[in-house]
Structure 1
Amino acid sequence: MKYPRTPFVVTLLSASLAGSVLANDLTVYTYSSFTSEWGPGPQIKAAFEEQCACTLNFVSTDDGVSLLNRARIEGRNTQADVILGIDDALMAEARALGVVQSHRLNWADYPLAPDLQWQDDTFVPFDYGYFAFVYDTEKTPEPAGSLRELLASDAAIIYQDPRTSTVGQGLMMWMNAVYGANVEGAWADLAAQTVTVTSGWSEAYGMFLEGEADYVLSYTTSPAYHMVAEGSDRYQAAGFAEGHVAQIEVGAVSAFTDNAELANEFLAFLISAEAQAIIPVTNWMLPVRTDAELPDAFASLPEPARIGFTPETVFQERQNWIRTWRNAVSQ
């Protein structure tokens, strides 16, 4: 934890009084839907505080890209002990920025899903899923069967800004994977159908539920919320023939924390059986543990083919892709 500099005499007194506060206070930077009353944050906080005899504080931004931008801007002046909620596409950039440090977890201790193939020594996965366009079956009884088909239709679409949102960045990867050198024209086609581009997921999904678009960019797991919490299968995710881009959400210890031990304890808790039981039915993503129990609704979700790019390729190409997107949608 970082505190402002104080005069020498005061600092001596503060050091003796604040040591326990530093050791028992953990600040986690994450995204707003994680900390919302319906997100996993409140339950994760209560469960972790019960076992750690500490105080867990969440500080939230709109989305994962905004989260990394904040960590970059604050640098060593950050209050973050843990950065939680960037995704695998941003790992190479976070590493290059020097805002994270290695964790102390041993992957042999955790039954992680084999398809994750996880061996990273810096980032800890806590859930994953596939980007998808969600639609209302009462408005769209025959959904698009591919990304190309969607862009050739007259459907109204809401998606998220790739500069601020990991979901929007996922679409950027998806568009480039499908269209390649022709992606600028595809962005222009999408612009003609776009109702709005939001800064984060929560705003976009809320507008969709209010009936402001036919499709919203979200996840294949999003319909599970409506099935479990509302008992409704009205909202579904369209399965696309070209495949879907996957997202693995991760956490990491801040490079500038004074409390790395507690930060590592928190990351280990996130992939414990207790936390993994909380996350799927609050964050509505897939658990990373193979032994996590899921509601029956998850069995009915699409299991798409995976396409996309490595974190290193995203890091190298991201700014070029953003410029192409901006040029296309501003015309």
Structure 2
Amino acid sequence: SLLMWGNDSENIDNMVFGPFEQQYGVDVEIVRLNTDANGIVSRLVAEAENPRADVVIGIDNILILQDQARQVLEPFTPSNLDLVNTTLVELLDEEHYIVPFDFGIVTLIYSTDAMNVTTHPQLANLTFEDLAEPSMASTLVTENPHLSSPGLAFFLSEIAVYHGILDDDWREWWCSVRDYIDVQEGWSEAWAKWDSDPTRNMMVSYGTDPAYSAHYTGTAPDTAVALFSYNAESYAWLQIEGIGLVKNGPNPDLAKKFIEYCLTEAVQSHIALNQWMFPANLNVELPDVFDYAVHPDEVSPLNALLPATLIKSNLTSWLQEYDLIMTA
């Protein structure tokens, strides 16, 4: 039996693993934790002395910077890694503790039933300064950066803009909005709030959400993306989610074959309409509904304004300062 930890977002159908099970005579057990990617790392750390998992999916390009994430993973270079965009591989982890599984942008979405560029012109070229206005901040729901990967991506997006573009103190923005924004525990909780509260019309989410909306309604999407705009350039945070080999897992050889299988079109072709992310495999053809999605190639990545070394050395203190601001 092969055991894989995953997160609680929509995942590819278990049926896609049938051919792998038949080929190797095993049962693939998928365990989807009711947590965000941070919780997955915590689970692996807790089981480090006696790992139950063989493979992990969902650790992203921020979490892999943490020492504890690397301590529970084993570097592995799949023989078919050439199926994956080379740039993604380099941006995620050059040592291959994890390799790309899917990718997309973390940005702001809004309900077009409640707001649009006519009622809120700033949406067309949104800045963090615009978002700090009480009338805008009071519409926003985001996620806890301690507990949520999109919440952490948004937190770092704000620091990236203030550090790399505005050359200003990032703390001031959070001081301005703390009494107006709604911070939920994770993405699922934020989505529930955004979907049910008529006053919360903006949310930190993904650039594929309009495609999701169009797919399930069968009409033009009722969700739109608001990208951050500075100096006539559009920005968003690039999230790359990886798949990796658990250190000292019970079935290492089988796990390596499974990782290679997950990079093939047999699995990758199901990512778009199930994970609602872009597949890492270069050969996968996207469904038509993804014409509504914002592809990462259409924006400048905010990650480039905040080097990984800077994040690794400062993230703990940044989050501590965030806590002081939000609880003041």
Q: TM-score w.r.t. structure 1 length? A: 0.84
- The residue type equivalent to 1:199 in the other structure is E
Q: Which residues of 2 match residues 68-87 of structure 1 at below 5 A? A: 68-87=41-60
**Is 1:298 aligned to 2:298, yes or no?**
no
Q: Work out whether residues 185 and 328 of structure 1, in 8 Å CA contact, stay in contact via their aligned partners in 2.
A: no
Cα–Cα, structure 1 residues 206 and 43, in superposed 2: closer, same or farther, change >3 Å? farther
Worse-matched range after superposition: 305-314 or 247-256: 305-314
- The residue type equivalent to 2:313 in the other structure is Q
Match of 2:84 among 103, 108, 112: 112
Higher Cα Rg, which structure: 1
**Is 1:150 aligned to 2:142, yes or no?**
no
Helix, strand or coil at the partner of 2:178? helix
Helix, strand or coil at the partner of 1:62? coil
Q: CA RMSD in A?
A: 2.1
Q: Work out whether residues 177 and 307 of structure 1, in 8 Å CA contact, stay in contact via their aligned partners in 2.
A: yes
Q: Work out whether residues 126 and 249 of structure 1, in 8 Å CA contact, stay in contact via their aligned partners in 2.
A: yes
Q: Work out whether residues 45 and 56 of structure 1, in 8 Å CA contact, stay in contact via their aligned partners in 2.
A: yes
Q: Work out whether residues 134 and 237 of structure 1, in 8 Å CA contact, stay in contact via their aligned partners in 2.
A: yes
Worse-matched range after superposition: 165-174 or 206-215: 206-215
**Is 1:240 aligned to 2:228, yes or no?**
yes
- The residue type equivalent to 1:136 in the other structure is S
Helix, strand or coil at the partner of 1:103? coil
Question: Cα deviations across residues 59-97 of structure 1 (Å, max 9, x unaligned)?
Answer: 314101111122223322331211210101111215665
Give the fraction of aligned pairs with identical amino acids, expressed as a percent: 23
**Is 1:29 aligned to 2:5, yes or no?**
yes
Helix, strand or coil at the partner of 1:292? coil
Give the superposition deviation at 1:52: 3.6
Distance 1:44 1:320 in 2: 42
Q: Which residue of 2 aligns with 1:330?
A: 327
**Is 1:207 aligned to 2:193, yes or no?**
yes
Worse-matched range after superposition: 49-58 or 133-142: 49-58
**Is 1:176 aligned to 2:151, yes or no?**
no
Q: Which residue of 1 aligns with 2:248?
A: 256
Question: Cα deviations across residues 22-41 of structure 1 (Å, max 9, x unaligned)?
Answer: xxx1111111114xxxx325
Q: Work out whether residues 81 and 258 of structure 1, in 8 Å CA contact, stay in contact via their aligned partners in 2.
A: yes
Helix, strand or coil at the partner of 1:67? helix
Segments of 5+ residues of structure 2 without an aligned counterpart are none
Q: Work out whether residues 31 and 64 of structure 1, in 8 Å CA contact, stay in contact via their aligned partners in 2.
A: yes
Question: Cα deviations across residues 80-118 of structure 1 (Å, max 9, x unaligned)?
Answer: 2112101011112156651100114135x5332354253
- The residue type equivalent to 1:221 in the other structure is T
Q: Work out whether residues 228 and 295 of structure 1, in 8 Å CA contact, stay in contact via their aligned partners in 2.
A: no
Helix, strand or coil at the partner of 1:252? strand
Distance 1:140 1:153 in 2: 15
Give the superposition deviation at 1:172: 1.4
Worse-matched range after superposition: 230-239 or 244-253: 230-239
Helix, strand or coil at the partner of 1:75? coil
Distance 1:96 1:138 in 2: 41
Q: Which residues of 2 match residues 121-200 of structure 1 at below 5 A? A: 121-142=96-117, 144=123, 145-155=126-136, 156-180=139-163, 182-195=169-182, 197-200=183-186
Cα–Cα, structure 1 residues 115 and 151, in superposed 2: closer, same or farther, change >3 Å? farther
Cα–Cα, structure 1 residues 55 and 168, in superposed 2: closer, same or farther, change >3 Å? same
Segments of 5+ residues of structure 1 without an aligned counterpart are 1-24
- The residue type equivalent to 1:26 in the other structure is L
Cα–Cα, structure 1 residues 48 and 146, in superposed 2: closer, same or farther, change >3 Å? farther
Cα–Cα, structure 1 residues 51 and 198, in superposed 2: closer, same or farther, change >3 Å? farther
Helix, strand or coil at the partner of 1:79? coil
Helix, strand or coil at the partner of 1:225? helix
- The residue type equivalent to 1:305 in the other structure is S
**Is 1:40 aligned to 2:12, yes or no?**
yes
Q: Work out whether residues 265 and 284 of structure 2, in 8 Å CA contact, stay in contact via their aligned partners in 1.
A: yes
Q: Which residue of 1 aligns with 2:27?
A: 55
Q: Which residue of 1 aligns with 2:312?
A: 315
- The residue type equivalent to 2:262 in the other structure is L
Question: Cα deviations across residues 182-237 of structure 1 (Å, max 9, x unaligned)?
Answer: 11111122322212x22221221122122351111101112111112222311111
Q: Work out whether residues 89 and 310 of structure 1, in 8 Å CA contact, stay in contact via their aligned partners in 2.
A: no
Give the superposition deviation at 1:49: 3.0
Q: TM-score w.r.t. structure 2 length? A: 0.84
